[in-house]
A and B are shown apart, each in its own frame.
Chain A
C-alpha cells in the first residue's frame, strides 16, 4: 500500500520533471544583444580627448601624450608634433557651421567661409563666457545642442526654437552635480542620435533632437571625458577614466523574435501553469477556510 503511494508520487514527480525539461529544451534562449560599448585600447589609462576623423583616431591621455591610430584603435603611436585636435566649439554639417563664440553666443553661418558670415542665431541662449560644447546631427537639419557653462544642456529645434533640454541632478548629497564633459553627433546623416558625455553619469543619448534622453552607458566607466562620432567607421568613441571605448551604431535594444512553433509551446506552457496555479490556490483556500464564518 505504502509502496504504491510512493510509486505514484515518484511517477508524478518524474512526469512534471519531464514536462518542464521538454519546455526548457524546446525553447530557444534569447540571443544576447551586442555590447553597447566595447573597449578599444589604453585600458587603465585616462583618456581626456578623442577625435575620430576619417580613418584616424587621435587621443590625448591624462599624462598629456597625444597618440594616433589609423587601424581602428588596434595600435596607437605617438602623433606627429603638428597634430591638432579640432576645437569643440565649432561644428560643420554640410554647408552649415555652428560655433560658440568666446562670449558664449551661438553663431550660425551658411555656405563656405568665404561667403558665409557667421551671425548670432536668433533666440540662442547666453551659454556663458568659455562655453565650448556644441553638436549638430546631420540627420536632423537645424537641430543643435549646446552646453552652457553652468551645465545646462540647450537644444535648438528644427524650427529654430531654443529650449533647455537637460538639467543634471546631484549624484548624491555630498557629490554634487556631475560635469558635462562632451557632446557628439554624426556629421554625416547616419543617425539623429546626440551623445552627451558626463563625469559621473557616463553617457546620455537623445534620438529626437534633445527633447528626450536615456542613459546609454552600460559597460562604460561613469567618468567620460570626451566623445567623438566617427562617420567613417559608424562609431562613437569615448575617452574615459579607463581607456578608449567604442560604440558601433546599432538599433536600440529590442525584444528577440521567435519562431511560431516556439511561441505556441511557450504560450501553452504559460497557460497550463496559470490554470494549475489558480486551481491549486482555490483548492487550498477551500480546504483551509472554516466551514462556518463568525465575524
Chain B
C-alpha cells in the first residue's frame, strides 16, 4: 500500500514537472522575421503567439502587404498576447541572425578600424566625430537603461552600425553592433 502511494506521488511529480516545462516552453520568447513587400517586420514575444501570428500573416497573403500593414495586422489581431512588432525600413527579411556584435576596448576598436579616432575627446566632440563618420552612437549608461526590446529597436532603427561607448579612455569598453543587410530570414530566441 505504502509503495503504491509513493509510486503515485512520483508519477504526479513527474507529470507536474512536464507540465511546467511545457508551459515554460510556451512562454519562451522568440524573435521572428516576417517578410513583406517593402521590407520586413520583426516580431518578438512568446513562442506560441509569434508562431500563430506568422501563420495568420502567411494565411492572409502577407507578401502583398507593406511591412506597416503586416505590423498593424499583427498588433490588432494579437493584442494582449505580449507581441512586439518592429518594421524594418529598408532591405528584406532581417532576423536576429543578421546582428553581429563586437565587444572590445576603445583602443582596440580604433586599431581594428571599427571606429574613427575619438580617444580622449569630450562626449560632445566624440559624438560629432561619430556622426560625421555615419555611425550611430549611444552611451553605455543609456544602453544599459534600455529594455531588451528597446535595445533591439535601437539596433534596428535605420540599419547603420551602432556604437555603444562607455567613455573615450583607451581602456573603456566599446560595443559595435552591425546589421547585415543581406541576412536571410531567421529565427532566434
Note whether A and B form a binding pair. no
Which A residues are closer than 8 A to B by beta carbons?
none
